[in-house]
Amino acid sequence: MKPLLNAAIQKVNQIITTLRLNKTAKELYKYPDSRLSDIGISRYLLLKGAAGYPWLETPKATVQVKNLNDITNVKTPIVVSNSNEILSAA
């Protein structure tokens, strides 16, 4: 009997959570695009309601910044002329 009661309570909690998420999505959908963008929320996912939760926008691009002063991995061919001068191909 107790497992049945726990399952019923869990289902009721799930329904309440879904209703609250749908209400929140409806309220957020009223915000302008600029505000939604500032807080990282996708208007498209808001249209899905609770099913689209957590409504977060995916990052448009990620950039990896490397140390530009690091020359340890730079491969520059060096050309030696007949007159023994060293010329850089860079």
Instruction: Tell me how far the alpha carbon of residue 87 is from its chain's centroid.
Output: 47
| Per-residue model confidence as pLDDT tens for the chain (90 residues) | 789 999 999 999 999 999 999 999 999 999 999 999 999 999 999 999 999 999 998 766 555 556 666 666 656 665 555 655 555 555
- pLDDT value at position 24? 96
Task: Look up residue 28 and give its two tokens.
Answer: 């957020």
pTM of the model: 0.60
**How far is the C-alpha of 41 from the C-alpha of 37, rounded, in Å?**
6
- The residues near 43 (Cβ < 8 Å, ≥ 6 apart) are 29, 33, 36
Range of the domain at 43: 2-88
Number of domains in the chain: 1
pLDDT at 63: 53
